[in-house]
C-alpha cells in the first residue's frame, strides 16, 4: 500500500504487516497440508479442515457467528453483495479513495457503483453520501483505509434511515476496532483480504463475516458453484426456490493453514504498530502537523498519515522521506478510484454500464495532499527513532519550501 519501489535509498525496514513476521510456523503448517495431500477444503485423502478451523477462529475474533473463507478480498466483496441479495442494477455507494477491487466486486455482482466524497479521515464522509441515495440504492460500502476505521455510527444511522445495507470493506483493517467493536462485523456484512500486503496473508485469500445466517448461507453457496459440495442433494443445490447458481471462489487448505498461523500474530502486531504511531505523533506534537482524522484512534492498527498544505508539498514530503529510507506515499498516487479511465467511463467487460462519473474536487484535494508513512511489523525502536527524526526534518524542510523535487 505504501511501498515505494523507486525509492532512491534502501528502506530502513519492510513496510509489511503479516508477511514481515512470516516464519517457521507458517512453513510447518503448509508442509502438514502438503503431506496430507488434502489440498481441497471439502474432501481429500486425509481431510484437515484447515479452512473450516480458520473460519471458526476468524468468526470468534470478530464476535460474529459466521465467517466464510474465499479466494480473495474482491471475491469476498462480491460474495457479500450477493449474500446480502443485491438485485441486478442495484447501486452501491463507494468512497472515492479506495482500491479498484471495490468497483470490480460491485460490477461482478451486477451492481452499479456510485462514488461518494471522503473527508479528512480519508474514509467515507459519514453523512455526505445521503444525497446520493435513490430508490435503486442497495448498499453503502465504507472502506476502513490503512488500518483505521471509517466513522461507522453516523454511517449506520443514515443507512438505517433509508433501508440501505452496510457492507464494510475491511481489507486493509483486519483486527482493527471501532468504539470497542471489531470492524467487519458492525454492518450487515464485512469483507477481508489476505493478499500479500494485508495484515495477515496467504499471498491471496479473503473472508466474509456476517451475523445473518441467511447471508451466510447465500455466501457459502455462491462461492461453491451454488452449493456443489456444501448443499448438493441428489444433484440439486438446495430446495426448489432457494437454490441458485454461483462461482468457484473457494479458499485452498494451504491458505487456511497459513492464515490460522498468521491470525495468532495479529493482535500483538497491531498493538505494537498503534503504539509506534502514537509515540511518533506525540514526539512531533510541537510541529503542529495536520494528521489524518481517526474516527477511533484507540481501535486503530497504526496509521501515520499527514495532510500537507497541498499536492506539491505532499510530493516534496514523500521525496524527503524516501531519501531518508522511510517508506512513504500518497495513497493511490492521489487519484480517486473513479479517475481510472475504465471506471470513469463505466467500461465493463460487457459494455458501458454507467455514465461518466462526476468529479469530486474536495476529495481529490484531500487525498492528493495526504502522505501515508508505511509502518512495518518488525520495526525496531531504532527504526522508530529514525522515522520520528526523518518526519521532523521533512516537515521543517517542506514548511520552509526548501524540499526540492
Ligand atoms: C486489497 C483490497 C481489496 C481487494 O483484495 P484482493 O484480495 O486483492 O482481491 C479490496 N478493497 C481494499 C480497500 C483493498 O485494499
Strand partners, 94: 115
Beta-carbon count within 10 A of 296 CB = 19
d(C-alpha 42, C-alpha 386), whole Å: 49
- Give yes or no for residue 210 CB within 6 A of ligand 1: no
Give the DSSP letter of residue 147. G
402 Cα–ligand 1 center, Å: 37
Q: How far is the CA of 193 from the centre of ligand 1 (A)?
A: 6
Residue 190 Cβ < 6 Å to ligand 1: no
pTM (2 d.p.): 0.96
- How would DSSP label each residue in 257-283? HHHHHHHHHHHHHHHHHHHHHHHHHHH
Indicate if ligand 1 lies below 6 Å from the C-beta of 172. Answer: yes
For residue 204, the ligand 1 atom closest to its alpha carbon is 7
Residues 6+ apart with CB under 8 A from 405: 315, 316, 319
Distances from the Cα of 126 to the Cαs of 62, 84, 146, 149, 157, in angstroms?
23, 21, 17, 12, 9
Pocket of ligand 1 contains residue 69 by CB under 6 Å: no
Ligand 1 centroid from CA 171, angstroms: 5
For 68, the 3-state DSSP assignment is strand
The pLDDT profile of the chain, 405 residues, written as one tens digit per residue, is 555 555 457 999 999 999 999 999 999 999 999 999 999 999 999 999 999 999 999 999 999 999 999 999 999 999 999 999 999 999 999 999 999 999 999 999 999 999 999 999 999 999 999 999 999 999 999 999 999 999 999 999 999 999 999 999 999 999 999 999 999 999 999 999 999 999 999 999 999 999 999 999 999 999 999 999 998 877 788 887 788 999 999 999 999 999 999 999 999 999 999 999 999 999 999 999 999 999 999 999 999 999 999 999 999 999 999 999 999 999 999 999 999 999 999 999 989 999 988 899 999 999 999 999 999 999 999 999 999 999 999 999 998 875 444
Q: How far apart are the first and last CA of the chain?
A: 22
User: Which residue out of 1, 17, 18, 73 has the highest number of ligand 1 atoms within 8 Å of its CB and is therefore the one to mutate?
Assistant: 73
Using the Cα atoms of residue 377, residue 383, residue 387 and residue 390 in order, give the sign of their dihedral: negative
Residue nearest to atom 5 of ligand 1 (CA): 73
What is the whole-number distance in angstroms between the Cα of residue 79 and the centre of ligand 1? Answer: 14
| 142 CB near ligand 1 (under 6 Å) | no
Does 169 sit in the ligand 1 pocket, CB within 6 Å?
yes
Check residue 239 and give its pLDDT: 80
d(CA 113, CA 87): 13
Instruction: Output DSSP code: residue 210.
Output: E
Longest CA pairwise span in the chain (Å): 74
- Ligand 1 atom closest to Cα of 143? 13
Residue bearing the CA closest to ligand 1, atom 14: 171
The candidate with the shortest Cα–Cα distance to 331, out of 145, 199, 104, 144, is 145
Amino acid at each position: 500500500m505504501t511501498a515505494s519501489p523507486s525509492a532512491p535509498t534502501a528502506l530502513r525496514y519492510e513496510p509489511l504487516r503479516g508477511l514481515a513476521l512470516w516464519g517457521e510456523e507458517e512453513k510447518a503448517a503448509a508442509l502438514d497440508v502438503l503431506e496430507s495431500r488434502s489440498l481441497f477444503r471439502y474432501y481429500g485423502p486425509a481431510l484437515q479442515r484447515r479452512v473450516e478451523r480458520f473460519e471458526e477462529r476468524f468468526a470468534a475474533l470478530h464476535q460474529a457467528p459466521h465467517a466464510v473463507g474465499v479466494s480473495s478480498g474482491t471475491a469476498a466483496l462480491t460474495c457479500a453483495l450477493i449474500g446480502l441479495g443485491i438485485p441486478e442494477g442495484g447501486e452501491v455507494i463507494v468512497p472515492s479513495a479506495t482500491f479498484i477491487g471495490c468497483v470490480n466486486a460491485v460490477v461482478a455482482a451486477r451492481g452499479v457503483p456510485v462514488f461518494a466524497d471522503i473527508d479528512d479521515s480519508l474514509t467515507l464522509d459519514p453523512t455526505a453520501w445521503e444525497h446520493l441515495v435513490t430508490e435503486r440504492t442497495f448498499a453503502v460500502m465504507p472502506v476502513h483505509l490503512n488500518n483505521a476505521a471509517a466513522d461507522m455510527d453516523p454511517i449506520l444511522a443514515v443507512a438505517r434511515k433509508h433501508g440501505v445495507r452496510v457492507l464494510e470493506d475491511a481489507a486493509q483493517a483486519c483486527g482493527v476496532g471501532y468504539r470497542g467493536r471489531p470492524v467487519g462485523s458492525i454492518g450487515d456484512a464485512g469483507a477481508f483480504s489476505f493478499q500479500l500486503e494485508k495484515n495477515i496473508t496467504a499471498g491471496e485469500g479473503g473472508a466474509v463475516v456476517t451475523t445473518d445466517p441467511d447471508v451466510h448461507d447465500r455466501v457459502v453457496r455462491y462461492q461453491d458453484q451454488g452449493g456443489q459440495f456444501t448443499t448438493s442433494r441428489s444433484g440439486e443445490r438446495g430446495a426448489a426456490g432457494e437454490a441458485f447458481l454461483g462461482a468457484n471462489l473457494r479458499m485452498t487448505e494451504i491458505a487456511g493453514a497459513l492464515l490460522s498461523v498468521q491470525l495468532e500474530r495479529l493482535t500483538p502486531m497491531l498493538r505494537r504498530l498503534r503504539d509506534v504511531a502514537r509515540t511518533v505523533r506525540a514526539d512531533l506534537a510541537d510541529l503542529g502537523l495536520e494528521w489524518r482524522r481517526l474516527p477511533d484512534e484507540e481501535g486503530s492498527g497504526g496509521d501515520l498519515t499527514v495532510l500537507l498544505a497541498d499536492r506539491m508539498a505532499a510530493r516534496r514530503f514523500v521525496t524527503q522521506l524516501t531519501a531518508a529510507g522511510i517508506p512513504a506515499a500518497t495513497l493511490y498516487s492521489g487519484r480517486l478510484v473513479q479517475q481510472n479511465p475504465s471506471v470513469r467511463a463505466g467500461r465493463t467487460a460487457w459494455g458501458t454500464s454507467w455514465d461518466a462519473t462526476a468529479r469530486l474536487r474536495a476529495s481529490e484535494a484531500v487525498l492528493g495532499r495526504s502522505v501515508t508513512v508505511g509502518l512495518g511489523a518488525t520495526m525496531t525502536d531504532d527504526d522508530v527513532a529514525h522515522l520520528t527524526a526523518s518526519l521532523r526534518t521533512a516537515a521543517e524542510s517542506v514548511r520552509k519550501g526548501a524540499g526540492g523535487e
